[in-house]
Amino acid sequence: MSNKARVFTGAATAVVTPFKNGVIDYDVYGNILEYQIKNGINGIVVCGTTGEAATLSDDEHRDIIEYTVKKVSKRVPVIAGTGSNDTAYAIELSKHACDVGADAILSVTPYYNKASQKGLVKHFNLIADSVDKPVLLYNVPARTNLNISIESYKELAKHPNIVGVKEASDSITFISDLLEACVGELDIYSGNDDRIVPMMSIGAVGVISVLSNVMPAEISELTRLYLEGDVKKAAELQLKYLKLMNAMFMTVNPIPIKTAMAKMGFCRSDMRLPLCEMDESDNEKLYNVMRNYNLIK
């Protein structure tokens, strides 16, 4: 548990960005946000990996953050993905997000440049210096080929604005070391749906979820049960939904979740290249799993 300002506990959804004819479909997006809030989600993450931030133009990125803040209207925290492998641009985007009312920012580990640990610390500290809102780091080595070291985390935890991290590394041992090293300084959130309970069992305070795009009530309930002390029931739900969680990552996120949402009538499955639709055989594999959970007929 961090001694700093906490952004949220429980489940936040890394929301998709719906497209129609090549542009953001704000009518559909607004309905998605309302569905999330109505079903008890604890936070909204806009412009994350699931939101296809990498293919949004600068104007689109800024506009959808501002739209999200206005639409959510303080009902739950809005966390804006403002990370970049260009520190100056990340600062610019982070300032904008805070200026339009985002409650916190999510800053991903720089990709492609492959910074040194010294560079990482400088990068994140400069971003945190530039804003007056809480900063969540996002460590996802599978996408960036770069891991924030424990020593770097300890250094970054000294910054008053850096309050937590979405941890999506593969090692529970590493995450345990992180929690031990930064106890009282950083809140940890699971970056993977398939390990919500395992991470909460060692001190994480919630999840930034993909599956909650279609099951906000269920994922919120899972985290709520754990936080209220019903570990057994939370673990049962973790196992109950595990096959569905895994199905949403049968290929690169957000392809499966967008395919699922289209099948359920939330939005079109349109994505921006280089992301593209799955083969029909893979669609059927996904739909079969969804049928087992009564999400579709």
Nearest-angstrom CA–CA distance, 190 and 211: 13
CA 24, CA 191: separation in Å to the nearest integer? 25
Catalytic residue among 4, 133, 166, 258: 166
CA distances (Å), 82 to each of 46, 110, 121, 195, 262, in order? Answer: 9, 11, 17, 25, 27
Q: Given 4, 29, 138, 258, which residue is catalytic? A: 138
Question: What is the C-alpha to C-alpha distance for residues 99 and 95, in angstroms, rounded to an integer?
Answer: 6
3-state percent helix, strand, coil for the chain, nearest multiple of 5: 45, 15, 40
Active site residue 138: yes
Residue 166: active-site member: yes
Can you read off the two tokens belonging to residue 11? 């489940």
- Give the integer Cα–Cα distance in Å for 206 and 161: 19
Active site residues: 138, 166
